[in-house]
Amino acid sequence: MSVFDGKQVLVTGGTGSFGKRFVARLLKDHKIKRVTIFSRDELKQSELAEKYKDEKRVRFLLGDIREQDRLQRAFHGIDIVIHAAALKQVPTLEYNPFEAVKTNIIGAENIINAAIDQGVERVVALSTDKAVNPVNLYGATKLCMEKLFISGNSYAGGFKTRFSAVRYGNVLGSRGSVYHVFRQRKASGELPITDERMTRFWITLDQGIDTVYFAAENMSGGEVFVPKIPSMKVVDFARAVAPECKIKNMGIRPGEKLHEVLLTEEEASRSVSAEKYFVIQPLARGWGYEQFTGGEPMSESFRYASDTNTDWLTDEQMKILTKDLG
């Protein structure tokens, strides 16, 4: 049996790119009792509700993770929470920093409190490679979110609620992704690149969902689950999307890195390699953490970075992955 079978699941940010795909997969893959889509966008909810008008297992709740009272009501009777709600546009958040803190940090605190108070069993939060050694506000808020969720296990004390996170790289085809930027600029005959040396990790929505599945099934609380995914130069990605276009080098923008890191040397010393994933185990384990089993200990000098990755996407592989994105 799956950990989701017979359970009531709530997805924050359920009308976003990940949320919509996750709900569709959840209904198909598991015998869930109910899935609640929690988001603040009434238009997107009404559009999605039309799709699921004959699906009795789907429920919609308007609300904002900034509002503790609303979360308390929404989490009543929920067994598993998947936390995908976030503000994530890097330039926008640099200009609106307090809004980023309210949603990505205070919102995470609200979820932790509501989950414990309402007896939620498991909470899995979505993080990003931008949270590792962050250089922009978005990454810093996500790092803080990770820390809050890990420490949330201590905060829960003797209660049953447990928290873990997943951390991965650029999601192909997600809303606002560079793929759609390149597609929009394709007609101009020129694609903007900040630096031809730049590399990134790439993951599909379905691979992201598989990572959340693995985390929910295997978590004891406090782990950060990192999928083993390929890298590609951003300039090669642009050429795969629009080979006929010229490349214009714009220079690195503020808050942008040449390369991203998903797992640091410091984290490797307490991590294991398990199947398609790395599992970073918590430093502090005061809540009775059970050691993750089934994985191989990792070298303390290991560093999982997009420029030194051993797995690289070819142009043809990228074209296959993006062929259905529109």
**Nearest alpha-carbon partner for 238 in 282, 194, 281:** 194
Which one of the listed residues 7, 20, 88, 130 is annotated catalytic? 130
Phi, psi of 254 (to 5 degrees): -60, 135
Strands (E), the chain: 8-12, 34-39, 58-62, 80-83, 122-128, 162-168, 170-171, 190-193, 199-203, 224-227, 231-233, 246-249, 261-263, 271-274, 277-280, 296-297, 304-305
Name the DSSP letter for residue 63: -
Residue 88 catalytic?
no
The pair of structure tokens assigned to 288 is 């009775």
The pair of structure tokens assigned to 145 is 């979110």
> What are the C-alpha distances in Å from 36 to residues 23, 223, 241, 262?
9, 25, 35, 30
The residues annotated with a catalytic role in the active site are 130
